Structure 1
């Protein structure tokens, strides 16, 4: 408007100047009448021009007022708040949306200091300082978006996202116009979501349900800026609420509040927890000391806890408990946070239910895991999905090395015959279940006899299946059964063997007597040697008969400390003198062998019998090795071999490089009268060896492979005595 007025003055001044110049510089004198006439018309022209400019200005003002009204209407229908502040920070304009959010009438806002009246105390001074720095050019123009809260007439906080612009005139800042969007719910929801994600991530890392509750309570208390929090849960009978072991304390002093509260309990509808339980609604209480339902007034007064928010935790299937958080005073955002957070507690309840279910499954898996049986779950491609500790022990393969692998890759020789498993799987798929005995091997190659149960677990939705396998190692059970069967066979032939031994004794007695008479009558020394050899053989036969009788009757012969080295040397000497020269004899016996308690003659017979069998297994020659060493048997070994005991043993190994023993008869070699030598064998040698070793508290292990040889390992308990040994 000021520029338009200047233009009018310029027009008038120009017109008057031209008129005066024309009058005074004219070459002829103009009459007074002409001058007056000229002045009259000039005045008319002046007023015409003046009126025209006035009309233009009036039209412009009306147009501006219309535009202002339209602009104001446009701002009023905007969904965002619009505020214009002058240089002093006073409100020059605010739209309807701004009035609605603040809860004031427009006249209550206009010309009021924005910072002093409409911002929370904690941010007003900082925000005002920034405002003046911008006006003074000390801060850059803040045209970017910023967030801060405003304070309503009800003293509630609303979070606004501001976009700001500066209004200038003649390069001078005149005002700041701000556009703000209410993002309170978005911010709280975002914060709630972050809290929920943080809780979710941590809950399933927790080992137990209480740890999961602790994580949830900590995050919720931090979300509400609470100083103390607790959780009330149902007792074991589900009749009342008791204080859980979980609590949150911003400072150590609040731990005393928790301890003093532990003695309390609440039935439905009783106290704040009970009301929250029956109503299944949140409760916000601002003045606890005046609330009739709150029973801990003396405690909240002592700890200056004036406000409380209580949430019920309800899942789809059950009521879990009540979360109660305490504050020194309520925040203006607490109500809105509480309303928005109801979904959080519902989701938490779902998480807790899921956590409980997971814990139940994990407990079941733990029980399965500690089973001695091998529990294995495979998919339809034989990939291992589950592998318990029993499987680890049974097969010697860790869970890490088994999971995700094909069972046939990790145990290439699991099945003695691969076709066995193929046939088993066909039956399983056809019938849905299978059970039976199968032979398998450990990762070390050791043979196992397994009692197996398999079942298909169908997934009808996906059209796939899984294979549940429970394998029980019955190797030792089978061995014990075989030993029992062997003992029964020995008992069954006892009477027959006793009769035979008696008859042999009757036959040998006159022979020995006759030999003695012959020796007295023979003068020829060469014949005497022959007779002596016959006598020794007859005596050994007599001793053998006596041992058989003792074996059958179960007679206990007195045992003495024996050092096995002495017996091994005697056997070595005998073998070198009598065994074929194409058999190499090796002896590896430690000089510090423990002594053992036993019968030297019986032990001699054991070693001699094994060495003779080794010789017979090498008709074309080979190597026969006797080795003796000390070992200690621990509890793990005892679990595998119940015939053993924890302690020191002397192990005597007799090995050969002969023909070996076929697998199908390896388990029968200790049976009485079982022989592979045809008419040459009696079938008593190894059965007597077995009996003697067991009589000495020991046991025998046999390893053999056809074409490569056989190894007998004799384990006899050692003693600490080192004197008077044979």
Structure 2
């Protein structure tokens, strides 16, 4: 006994492939001879294929349980017709064939239909969950951004109202204007961070990575000295990469500044550049309080920050976006009480690399 009816029913009802499967079933039957059985099979499958064009759209709008039952009932009805046809041809009572037609085929269709419905249900649930998370991320990111913009704008509005006072002297007016400018600049920075995240717009140019790392370290040295933090660098010479110089500097500045702020009671910040065959890794390690596994997993989310009310997570969100746009990768590891390590890997230009290492210590 063959079970051609099972894939035919499933394919015609769920995939609308009744015509193709019907013709295929007739062709396969032809390999066993062109007899009365072939003629009856051809009539059966070609008729069912024609009917399936109309029943498939109506079938798909039914509820899952209804679809399973309808598929089983249709298979059972066709199985009865097959049994009667076989009885007519052989003039006997082949009970084994009746068992296949009336039990095996309906059960097979029912099981496959059940698994298909469960698979569809699982996929719908997964897609719904993904969509819900996306909406949640957008909502929370929007709330974080609006919060960060509202604060400087509220302050700016207050100083605008103060500037409307005609009795202000020139010194007070200049002070208020200076503060107003700073608040508006803060709001602009938040908007720029969001635009950088959504579209990094990388301008590619060749530049010396070591020079940029050195510049960032020098600019942070006063802040480090104030908090009694030592910065140690281990750098090779002339590591040429291609990317956006300014945006990479922004990334390095953000990560190193976060590391310095984490070490409130002093500590050590080590910046090491490691050369590989076709990539270069910037390793930034601090001796701060570290983070838990849950915090590390959420690093880079647009609405998550370990700084509490002092941050929104937009800084590292932008860092991740920029590094990806430069065809690089970023990885963070941390252990509570032992500090945090950030590793940024970027593609290099091998012909311009000189593998000679030097160390500088900034106190």
* TM-score normalized by the length of structure 1: 0.26
Relative to its length, the structure with more strand (as a share) is 1
Relative to its length, the structure with more helix (as a share) is 2
* TM-score normalized by the length of structure 2: 0.48
Determine which structure has greater relative contact order: mean sequence separation of CA pairs < 8 Å that are 6+ residues apart, divided by chain length: 2
